[in-house]
């Protein structure tokens, strides 16, 4: 776990909102660890348990497994608290049409009042669950008049339409290893997690070149 600075009464909060357990680490794990080391509070909000990743198991067993993995990974990068909304995996597009399913998102944002929110990009068109999360965050932050910054990341796709928006580069040269160690906690996802490593390494290296450091994570500002 990254060593944190002493907390103050006015501790800054960062929030990561995503669709499935492991999205928070793939998309922003190095940044989470960086902010945590700086003494900022990091809160994660995860829409589903990713329960359909193991369709042959009883749902309760998959949920227990994936929650445990996510919390263990979160402890490595310094996530203070993770909220699971329990919406249906692979059905988030329909789930977020129900206004009552948006209330928990609104409540957690109003409770913690994050200065920055990191979430899925509206350009992440490959996975409908990711796009649904973006739509929900966009709607909720508009209706509550959220005044902080919203940054987005892609899991499987590259920014296209948002390429001209302002970028945020976070130097993760000293936290990339924490990101990778956290990802390895998702043992149920090892088949594809290790396939992701070359791409994650290349993306961090490429962003590092743009930011003049060894490794970086880059995000696009949307609000």
Q: Give residues with Cβ within 8 angstroms of 180, minimum separation 6.
A: 197, 200
pLDDT at residue 172, as a whole number: 98
> What CATH number should be reported for the domain holding residue 39?
3.40.50.10320
90: left (phi over 0), alpha (psi -120 to 50) or beta: left
- Domain interval for residue 153: 13-221
Residue 172 and residue 33 in contact, taking contact as beta carbons nearer than 8 Å = yes
In a domain, 4, yes or no: no
In a domain, 7, yes or no: no
Residue 44 and residue 2 in contact, taking contact as beta carbons nearer than 8 Å = no
pLDDT in tens, the chain (223 residues): 666 555 555 899 999 999 999 999 999 999 999 999 999 999 999 999 986 655 445 566 788 999 999 999 999 999 999 999 999 999 999 999 999 999 999 999 999 999 999 999 998 877 899 999 999 999 999 999 999 999 999 887 665 567 778 899 999 999 999 999 999 999 887 777 888 889 899 999 999 999 999 999 999 999 8
In a domain, 111, yes or no: yes
In a domain, 2, yes or no: no
* Locus of tokens 């290349």: 202
In a domain, 158, yes or no: yes
pLDDT at residue 56, as a whole number: 41
Count of residues making up the chain: 223
Structural domain count, the chain: 1
Q: What does pTM read for this prediction?
A: 0.92
């Amino acid at each position: 776990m990254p060593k944190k600075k002493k907390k103050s009464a006015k501790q800054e909060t960062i929030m990561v909102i995503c669709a499935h357990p492991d999205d928070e680490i793939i998309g922003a794990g190095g940044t989470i660890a960086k902010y945590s080391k700086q003494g900022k509070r990091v809160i994660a909000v995860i829409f589903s348990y990713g329960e359909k990743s193991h369709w042959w198991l009883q749902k309760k067993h998959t949920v227990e497994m994936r929650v445990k993995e996510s919390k263990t990974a979160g402890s490595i990068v310094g996530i203070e608290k993770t909220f699971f909304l329990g919406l249906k995996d692979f059905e988030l597009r329909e789930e977020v049409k129900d206004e009552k399913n948006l209330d928990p998102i609104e409540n957690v944002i109003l409770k913690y009042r994050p200065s920055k929110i990191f979430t899925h990009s509206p350009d992440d068109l490959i996975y409908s669950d990711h796009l649904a999360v973006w739509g929900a965050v966009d709607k909720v932050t508009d209706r509550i008049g959220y005044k902080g910054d919203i940054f987005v990341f892609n899991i499987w796709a590259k920014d296209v339409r948002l390429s001209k928006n302002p970028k945020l580069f976070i130097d993760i040269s000293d936290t990339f290893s924490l990101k990778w160690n956290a990802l390895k906690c998702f043992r149920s996802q090892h088949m594809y997690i290790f396939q992701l490593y070359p791409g994650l390494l290349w993306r961090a290296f490429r962003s590092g070149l743009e930011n003049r450091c060894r490794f970086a994570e880059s995000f696009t500002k949307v609000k």
